[in-house]
Amino acid sequence: MYFEGRLLEALTPKEFDLLYFLMKHPRQVFSREQLLEQVWGYQFYGDERTVDVHIKRLRQKIATEAHPFLHTIWGVGYKFDETE
């Protein structure tokens, strides 16, 4: 998969689903709970911190210093924003 003209390291299926969901809703902030519901589904019984781990791994794979793309909104959640 290519992103911003760079070949990405292999994404896991959930990393891909999470990135795809966030990219479909640019600049919209989602809580961990909302992301779990939308990406993992209502039947996910794991910890909300699962989202944090996946965001961290995605940042390692797609972010650059000039373009972090995935932003933490403290006390709220996460958003994808290519303009910041």
Domains of the chain: 2-80 (1.10.10.10)
pLDDT computed for residue 26 by the predictor: 95
pLDDT computed for residue 64 by the predictor: 75
Is-contact 71 78, C-beta < 8 A?
yes
pTM of the model as a whole: 0.84
Is-contact 73 79, C-beta < 8 A?
yes
pLDDT computed for residue 6 by the predictor: 65
| Three-class SS state of 18 | helix
pLDDT computed for residue 58 by the predictor: 93
User: Over its length of 84 residues, how does the chain's per-residue pLDDT go in tens digits?
Assistant: 666 676 666 889 999 999 999 999 999 999 999 999 999 987 767 777 899 999 999 999 887 777 789 999 999 999 999 886
Residue type present at position 46: G
